């Protein structure tokens, strides 16, 4: 009887071990392919995505739309597309989520968790652009990999090192007394001059505040305040007269005929100056013709000589006759 009981115990232990092993295997299979299990009993549609690099994406990886599990990766293999070698990723997507995708949909590969599990993310785009065509491949968008992040980090470290070296060079120049800051820090007379200038500025400000000197008189004088207010009132009156269409200044500033006459006068003046510059007319020749200037100088010389001769001997040019009746 004892031997029979022992055999029954061993058979029960074997059965329990088999059940536990099968349960463990099914649980592990569900964990590995949880994307498939989730969508195993839902209607699915096939979609194709083209990538340059899948960055370790595996078959069975979950497919998400805006963070929601919506399918899984079916297969991954190389293809030739428009004379380019790309990686074709075929997915199975829940048919209920197909309406959430537009023709602008793109796919990216993201890393989830500390274990580096790869997830395929579909970015729907603008739904108003139209629904997605399942027959056309979805473009895959490149993602920022850890290598690129580390590369940018190394560039940042190098830039910080260069900045540190530059700062050290500047500090050495300052310690050596080079440059404005270096001279100011190493030469005490510059500091003394700055302190003296500050004291002088404070003295002048104190004098102005106390009412000493002409500047303080201008600031604190009530008479000057009255005059300034009077000048401002006069300016206000002039501006008001310009703004009043009934006044002379207002009429001149608003009358289109006045503006036309002014433009015509300016135009005529410009024509006269142009003719003078071109040497036209007597005045123009006097300005630009050297011969005309020489003739004018000779004429003036003769007139001056005639006047001098008349002063010396006026009877030669003037005679007075007296008739007595």
Q: Which segments in the chain show pLDDT lower than 50?
A: 1-3, 35, 37, 325
Asked if residue 121 belongs to a domain, the reply is: yes
How crowded is residue 35: how many other Cβ atoms within 10 Å of its Cβ?
22
Cα–Cα dist 231/13, whole Å: 115
The per-type count for the chain, helices as H runs and strands as E runs, is 11, 7
Tell me the pLDDT tens digit for each residue of 215-255: 666 666 677 778 888 888 888 877 777 676 666 666 666 66
pLDDT computed for residue 253 by the predictor: 64
Is 281 within the bounds of a domain? yes
Q: Is residue 267 part of a domain?
A: yes
Residue 218: inside a domain, yes or no?
Answer: no
- Flag whether 215 is in a domain: no
Partners of 121 in the beta sheet? Answer: 64, 108
pLDDT of residue 105: 92
Of the three residues 102, 120, 148, the one that is the final residue of a domain is 148
Taking residue 94's Cβ as centre, other Cβ atoms within 10 Å add up to 20
Give residue 265's domain range.
Answer: 255-317
pLDDT at 63: 93
**148, 180, 199: which is the final residue of a domain?**
148
Q: Which residues contact 95 (CB under 8 A, 6 or more apart)?
A: 42, 43, 44, 45
Beta strands in 227-283 (DSSP E): none
Which pTM does this prediction carry?
0.38
């Amino acid at each position: 009887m004892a031997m029979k009981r022992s055999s029954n115990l061993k058979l029960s232990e074997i059965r329990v071990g088999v059940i536990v092993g099968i349960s463990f295997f099914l649980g592990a299979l569900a964990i590995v392919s949880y994307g498939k299990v989730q969508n195993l009993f839902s209607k699915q549609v096939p979609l194709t995505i083209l990538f340059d690099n899948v960055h370790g994406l595996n078959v069975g990886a979950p497919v998400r739309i805006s963070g929601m599990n919506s399918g899984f990766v079916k297969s991954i293999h190389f293809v030739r597309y428009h004379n380019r070698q790309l990686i074709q990723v075929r997915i199975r997507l829940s048919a209920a989520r197909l309406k959430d995708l537009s023709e602008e949909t793109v796919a990216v590969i993201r890393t989830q968790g500390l274990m580096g599990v790869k997830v395929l993310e579909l970015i729907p785009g603008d739904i108003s652009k139209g629904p997605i065509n399942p027959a056309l491949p979805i473009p895959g968008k490149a993602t920022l990999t850890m290598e690129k992040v580390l590369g940018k980090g190394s560039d940042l470290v190098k830039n910080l090192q260069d900045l540190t070296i530059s700062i050290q060079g500047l500090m050495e120049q300052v310690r050596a007394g080079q440059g404005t800051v270096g001279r100011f820090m190493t030469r005490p007379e510059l500091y003394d001059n700055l302190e003296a200038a500050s004291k002088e500025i404070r003295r002048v400000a104190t004098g102005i505040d106390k009412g000493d000197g002409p500047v303080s008189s201008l600031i604190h004088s009530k008479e000057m305040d009255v005059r300034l207010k009077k000048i401002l009132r006069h300016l206000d009156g002039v501006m008001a007269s310009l703004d009043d269409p009934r006044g002379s200044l207002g009429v001149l500033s608003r009358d289109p005929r006045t503006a036309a006459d002014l433009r015509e006068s300016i135009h005529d003046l410009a024509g006269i100056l142009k003719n003078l510059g071109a040497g036209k007319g007597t005045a123009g020749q006097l300005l630009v013709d050297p011969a005309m200037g020489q003739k004018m100088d000779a004429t003036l010389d003769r007139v001056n000589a005639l006047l001098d001769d008349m002063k010396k001997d006026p009877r030669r040019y003037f005679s007075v006759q007296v008739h007595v009746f």
